[in-house]
Structures are given as C-alpha cells and as structure tokens.
Amino acid sequence: MKEIAIRENHLYNKSYTRGRRFVGRYIAVYVLKDLAAKRLKKENPCGEYVNRVGITVSKKIGGAVCRNRSKRIIRAAYRAMSDELRRGYLIVISARGAIVGKKSSDIEQELSKAFLELGMISADKTPKTEEK
C-alpha cells in the first residue's frame, strides 16, 4: 500500500513535541497517534487505517545528492517494514549526521530497533532481522 506523506508543518511540530521518540545513531523516529485516522480510513479504498509518514533531512547532512540518497534509503527501509507496523499513526523519521555513506541494511536495522522500542510492531508479527 502506498504511504501517505505528511505535508503540513504543524503535524511535524506536533510529532516532535508530543510524540514518543527514539534517537539512534543514524536516524531519529517520532511517533504520534493520528487524530485524523478515522477520516483517512473512510477515504481509503481498502477501508484500513493508514500511517502518515514524513522524512526530514537537514542541509547539515550535505548537498542535494547526499540528502536525496538519505531520503531514498530511509524510504526503502520503511517500505520493507511497513506491513509489520501498527496503523493509524503519524511517523516522522529524521536523518542524523552519521547517515552519510551508510548502507540501507544499516538503516533498516536501526529502524526496526526504533519501531520495536516504540511499540509500533504488531504483536502477531515479529520483525525481520538477520542473526549472525
């Protein structure tokens, strides 16, 4: 299912101030219950709750190429986990300075750790992590 992007600035601010947070080495994740979840469920053709996702990358990370690569990697990591997550939330994922030059597997591993600590992973599904 295609995720819905957060476009309004006030939703980012609410997530930052009122949401639960996880700050890791490469990313920071903010999660807040979405008050418009019921309305979005009615508008959804499948009739399911959806998460609204926002990705932020500061200019401190680097130039446009670095920022776009970071966003692309974060988006891919989120898509890999989106089926396992609880629905009806605002999720803001913010890149941190150490993300430059990291592989997508590193980001996916940290994102799964973040969602596990925030209680976003459904009880009936376990996270996909590789053990070595």
Domains in the chain and their CATH numbers? 4-117 (3.30.230.10)
Query: Model's pTM, two decimal places?
Result: 0.87
Quote the CA–CA distance of 81 and 115 in Å, as a whole number: 9
On the question of pLDDT at 43 being above 90, the answer is no
Q: What percent of the chain has pLDDT over 90?
A: 68
Name the least confident of 30-34, 74-78, 115-119, 123-127: 123-127
C-beta separation of 27 from 92 below 8 A = no
Beta bridge partners of 20: 31
